[in-house]
Structure 1
């Protein structure tokens, strides 16, 4: 796909894609952001695309991005509820939380580079396994295995019974 073809695609489909997202999320700014991000992702893949399925892929990518954003917001709300609840915690709870946080950070340092990279891309950047595989140039199965090993490592490193 040439730059001119991409520009035509953008001009022809950006308003309808933004409206599609707006009906889903109800926020015009979020809809515009996700539509732009979808076109950016499409731009990154433009050399590998077939002209016939580009619009469908664009809508699928935008929906996936919106779903990822909603999931991320749920995690943020859950975390913020936990943080707001901290003022009602006992000093022992606060000390235990700080110890757990310190142990988590140390476990990330001790984790192998491959496992840490996949774990952080999945949990902190909210990327799908297929997106991680594309970025790292590995298979989805390799991402799954690295994630499994990273979670097992964290479970072992943060084992509550062991820390008592």
Structure 2
């Protein structure tokens, strides 16, 4: 792999890998750090890599680096710190109900199994189609559908159980 090929791979994949990691950890800085480390490792192994497999390898390396970091840091952060509630003509009870529901939702997202959470967030926040998610995660579309089904089921049963 030449420097030019590496630069092209970096330019084409950095944002997607960073976004994937952000949904797994909820920390923008950590996602950027791990993504940079991932590309550093890719450069170190440049002579052993087939260009046709780079994309899948990047996501696999990113996943492995995230898991390693998670075990070392053992920290969890909120994923939805920027959910806002525009106040219009809502009563204080409506605002309180919304805030309580938002807190439940955020807590449930954090409790959701990691694989389901990543698929759920890529679909609902990024607006990606199942095919796009499958490509990014190197999964079949059916596997993405199954993870989304379980994620939605988890949210549904958890929200109903808490009411």
More helix by share: 1
Larger radius of gyration: 1
